[in-house]
Structures are given as C-alpha cells and as structure tokens.
C-alpha cells in the first residue's frame, strides 16, 4: 500500500511514490533495440528477425554480429568478423596455470566464472570502455576465448591434456574439437551435431533482461571492464533457477524412469510435490518458440547418436501435460530447457557442462547488451532503493550491560 511505498521518505519534501518490485516483474531497467519478446504469442526476435528464420538460415557467428552491430553483415563483413574472432581463440599461457590450480572436481561453471574474470587482468586496454576501438577488440576476444576456456574446464575435470584451438574449423566445430579431440589427428565433428549445436547457440544468444543479462548491465554500469561484467553474467547463469533447469529435466526424466510411471508423476506434480521441470516460463504463456525448434533438432541429433529412452519419456510427458487441464489453465508449455539437455547429453556433454554451453551461446547477447548500456547516455550506475524494515535509532549497549 502507499504507506509501505513511502516509508523511505515521509518528510514534507517527499518526492512521491517509490516502486516496490521484488524480482523486477514490472520494472523496465533500460530501453533496448536488441531483442523483442511477446510472451503471450510466443514470439522472439533478435533485431527484428524472427528466431525461426535465424535458426534456419543463419549461423551463430552471423547472429552474434547481428545482435552486437544491429544489422546482418554482407559477405565481406562476415568474413572479416569471423577471421577476427578466430584469431582470438588462444588464451595467455598463464591462464593454463590458473586453470590447473582448480581442484579436479571443480564445477566447470565455477571455473568459467573465475577465468573469464581473470581475463580482465591480461588486457589493461579493456578499462577504456568509452573507446569504440577498445570495445570492439574486447568483444572479439571474449567471443573467441569463451569456447577455449569452456573446453579447458571440461578437460581439466577429466585430467585430459588441453587441445589448442584449430582455427581452420568453424567456431562451433573448433569448440567440439577442443572438447572431444583425443588423438593427434585432425578432428572433424559430425556435421549434423555441429549444426545442431550451432543452432542451440543461436537460440540461447539473447533473451532481453533475464537474470544474467541484468547482472551484466548492473555490474557494467559501475564502469568496470567487460570481462568482469561478463564474469558477473556467468555467475548469475551458474544459479540453478537460471542456467540449471535443463540439468533438472534430465534428473526428472531419470527419476520417472519409464513411460508407465508418467501418470503417477503428473499426479504428484498436480498435488504440489515438485514441478514439471522444463515447463512454464515467466514471460512465455504460450509454447516457447525456442522449444519448438529444439524439439526438431532433438530428432535430427538422435538420428545420428541413437535414441535415448529418456526422449520417449519426455515426448509422452509433453503429450500428457498438454492435454491436462492443470497445465492448460496455467498456460504451462515446454520451455527452451525441456529438450536441450537431452540433446547435449546425446552429444556427449556431461550434465555440469550444460550451463557452460548456455554461457557460450549467451555471450553475444551479453556483449550486445553491455555495449548498448555503455553507449546509453540515459543510463546511470544501477542502484535501486529499498524499503527499510529494521530498527529505528538506538544506543549502543556495552557488552557487559547487555541482557
Ligand atoms: N510444473 C507445475 N506447476 C507449475 C510449473 C511447473 N513447471 N510452473 C508453474 N507452475 C504452476 C505454479 O505452481 C502456479 O500454480 P498455482 O497458481 O496453482 O499456485 C502457477 O503455475 C504459476 O506459477 P509461478 O511460479 O507463479 O510462475 P512463474 O512465472 O513465477 O514461474 C518458472 C516461471 C520459474 C519458469 C516456473 O514455471 C518453473 O518453476 N518452471 C520449472 C523450471 C524451469 O523449467 N525453468 C526454466 C525456465 S526457462 C530459463 O530459465 C531459460
């Protein structure tokens, strides 16, 4: 009520109502020209282009260019952009020492948060955030180096030697090579799996003011370099409510175990004993457009890798849920995470790499949003207010006199 809203300022000079909006459900923190979502209609567009068209016709690097620069590139610009990013895939050799310092069982997402943040100490020119040239350079470095750090974190956990980037390969093929190459010989990934992962990266590339993007903007608003701001995005993505839902879907499917157990599971969800993971979304009150595309990709991937029994459980679970009044009335549809984990698992990624894959895909979005924020003259340091509910002023009591 109004009294709650006005508790901070109740003097005559009170400027008026202070919004109280936990979780920012009704607060726009910025004006943006990057991503458009209509949650009721199930629409997602990057710079005006429907996600379905980008998934079908674009590549991850081209979509990254679009997000960051605002327009699709011509052939020459795309070639230059690709060349520049491929030439920034190596990391300083001290990063390897840093990587080696992590415990053998360190979570790869924790490693990513640490190493992305550490990059800031290697590039002192990154502090110059108001220089367009410097910003461009850091953008290329970050997009180039994230897959290298991600693959290193995976191989560190296995105790395998790191694989150097192969800049003859495409961006996504190079990442797969750094992950899975086991011999000295040239590594060529399965083109269907390479394409599927590239499309998954496109689908994750931006999603307006989600938790991690908000973190990038908020930390970036202090004027810090982009490596540190992006490390904050990685940190936000590490949380189970944001980057961890697709892993939770796998655990749920494993727990259900077989198709005949689905009705009992649905019944328990309806009785409030847990949620149907990979279903529902804060913004989409319709089928998540990314989930539709991912479902098609899942079939393509399983054609190559062999069908996981979990896919059949997922399909039946979706079919039953979409016909059930509980889910219909609450507008609960599959979201991006319902099938993505199954695809990653079929490709050979362990569960703890799932949020890392999300981070690789999200990097152009974070960078586009960070760049837009830095250039936005209306922006200030992110500094919300609070509604203070603590004690009024009181006098300090010496420890011997305390009750
Ligand atoms: N399974 C069962 N019931 C659900 C689910 C679900 N997955 N999601 C929402 N509900 C129910 C709630 O119990 C509530 O029912 P009620 O009105 O009877 O109390 C109603 O639907 C509304 O739910 P809210 O929690 O208010 O919806 P909100 O928009 O806050 O939550 C969220 C969205 C967090 C995504 C939720 O749907 C959820 O927990 N889903 C499962 C986790 C998941 O898949 N997360 C990934 C999101 S996509 C991403 O992060 C990339």
Ligand 1 geometric centre to CA of 278 (Å) = 9
CA 332 – ligand 1 centroid, Å: 7
Closest CA to 367 of 153, 122, 146, 87: 146
Give me the interface pTM, i.e. the ipTM.
0.93
- Strands 43-46, 49-50: pairing kind: antiparallel
With beta carbons less than 8 A apart as the criterion, state whether 353 and 345 touch. Answer: no
Q: What's the gap in Å between 35 CA and the centre of ligand 1?
A: 23
Residues 313, 256 contacting (CB under 8 angstroms) = yes
Question: Is the sign of the CA dihedral 287, 293, 294, 299 positive or negative?
Answer: positive
Q: CA-to-CA distance for 109 and 88, rounded, in angstroms?
A: 21
373 labelled catalytic: no
In the prediction, which pLDDT does 242 show?
87
Q: Please state, in angstroms and rounded to a whole number, the distance separating the CA atoms of residues 334 and 197.
A: 19
Phi, psi of 150 (to 5 degrees): -65, -45
Q: If you write DSSP's letter for every residue of 83-132 in order, what string do you get?
A: HHHHTT----HHHHHHHHTS-TT--HHHHHHHHHHHHTTT-GGGG-TT-H
Is the CB of residue 278 less than 8 Å from the CB of residue 310? no
Q: How far is CA 372 from the centre of its chain?
A: 18
Q: Which pLDDT tens digit goes with each residue over 200-255? A: 999 999 999 999 999 999 999 999 999 999 999 999 999 888 888 888 999 999 99
Q: One digit per residue, pLDDT tens: the chain, 403 residues?
A: 545 555 566 677 766 677 899 999 899 999 999 999 999 999 999 999 999 999 999 999 999 999 999 999 999 999 999 999 999 999 999 999 999 999 999 999 999 999 999 999 999 999 999 999 999 999 999 999 999 999 999 999 899 999 999 989 999 999 999 999 988 888 889 999 999 999 999 999 999 999 999 999 999 999 999 999 999 999 999 988 888 888 899 999 999 999 999 999 999 999 999 899 999 988 898 889 999 999 999 999 999 999 889 999 999 999 999 999 999 999 999 998 999 999 999 999 999 999 999 999 999 999 999 999 999 999 999 999 888 899 999 999 999 999 9
Atom of ligand 1 nearest to the CA of 278: 44
Residue whose CA lies nearest to ligand 1 atom number 3 = 275
Rounded distance between C-alpha atoms, residue 212 and residue 242, angstroms? 8
Q: Please, is 396 exposed, middle or buried when counting C-beta atoms within 10 Å of its C-beta (0-12, 13-18, 19+)?
A: exposed
Task: Determine if ligand 1 sits within 6 Å of the CB of residue 245.
Answer: yes
Question: Is 282 close to ligand 1, i.e. is its CB under 6 Å away?
Answer: yes
Catalytically annotated residue among 206, 225, 288, 337: 337
Q: Rounded CA gap, 61 and 82, in Å?
A: 7
Active site residue 337: yes
- Structure tokens given for 64: 């990254």
Distance 207 CA to ligand 1 centre (A): 18
Indicate the pTM of the whole model: 0.92
**Distances 248 to 251, 291, 322, 338 between C-alpha atoms, Å:** 5, 16, 20, 9
Q: Chain-centre distance of CA 296, in angstroms?
A: 21
Q: What is the largest CA-CA distance in the chain?
A: 78
């Amino acid at each position: 009520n109004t009294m709650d809203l006005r508790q901070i300022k109740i003097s005559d000079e009170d400027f008026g109502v202070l919004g109280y909006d936990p979780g920012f459900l009704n607060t726009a923190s910025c004006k943006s020209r990057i991503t458009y979502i209509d949650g009721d209609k199930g629409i997602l567009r990057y710079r005006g282009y429907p996600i379905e068209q980008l998934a079908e016709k674009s590549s991850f690097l081209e979509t990254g260019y679009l997000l960051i620069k605002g327009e699709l590139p011509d052939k020459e610009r795309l070639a230059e952009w690709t060349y520049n990013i491929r030439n920034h895939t190596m990391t300083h050799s001290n990063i390897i020492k840093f990587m080696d310092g992590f415990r053998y069982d360190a979570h790869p997402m924790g490693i990513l948060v640490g190493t992305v943040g550490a990059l800031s100490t290697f590039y002192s020119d990154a502090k110059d955030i108001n220089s367009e040239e410097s910003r461009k350079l850091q953008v290329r470095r970050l997009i180039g180096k994230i897959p290298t750090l991600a693959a290193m974190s995976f191989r560190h956990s296995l105790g395998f030697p790191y694989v150097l980037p192969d800049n003859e390969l495409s961006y996504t093929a190079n990442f797969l090579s750094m992950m899975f190459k086991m011999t000295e010989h040239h590594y060529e990934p399965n083109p269907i799996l390479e394409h599927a992962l590239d499309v998954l990266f496109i689908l994750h590339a931006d999603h307006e003011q989600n938790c991690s993007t908000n973190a990038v903007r908020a930390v970036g608003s202090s004027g810090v370099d982009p490596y540190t701001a992006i490390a904050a995005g990685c940190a936000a993505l590490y949380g189970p409510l944001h980057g961890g839902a697709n892993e939770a879907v796998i655990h749920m499917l494993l727990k259900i175990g077989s198709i005949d157990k689905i009705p009992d599971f649905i019944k328990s969800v309806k009785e409030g004993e847990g949620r149907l993971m990979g279903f529902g979304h804060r913004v989409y009150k319709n089928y998540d457009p990314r989930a539709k595309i991912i479902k098609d990709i899942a079939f393509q991937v399983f054609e190559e890798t062999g069908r996981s029994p979990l896919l059949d459980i997922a399909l039946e679970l979706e079919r039953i849920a979409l016909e059930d009044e509980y889910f219909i009335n609450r507008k609960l549809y599959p979201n991006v995470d319902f099938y993505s984990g199954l695809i990653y698992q079929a490709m050979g990624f362990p569960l703890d790499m799932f949020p890392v894959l999300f981070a690789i895909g999200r990097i152009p979005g974070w960078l586009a949003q960070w760049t837009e924020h830095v250039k936005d003259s209306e922006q200030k340091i992110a500094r919300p207010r609070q509604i203070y509910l603590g004690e009024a002023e009181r006098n300090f009591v010496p420890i011997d006199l305390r009750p």
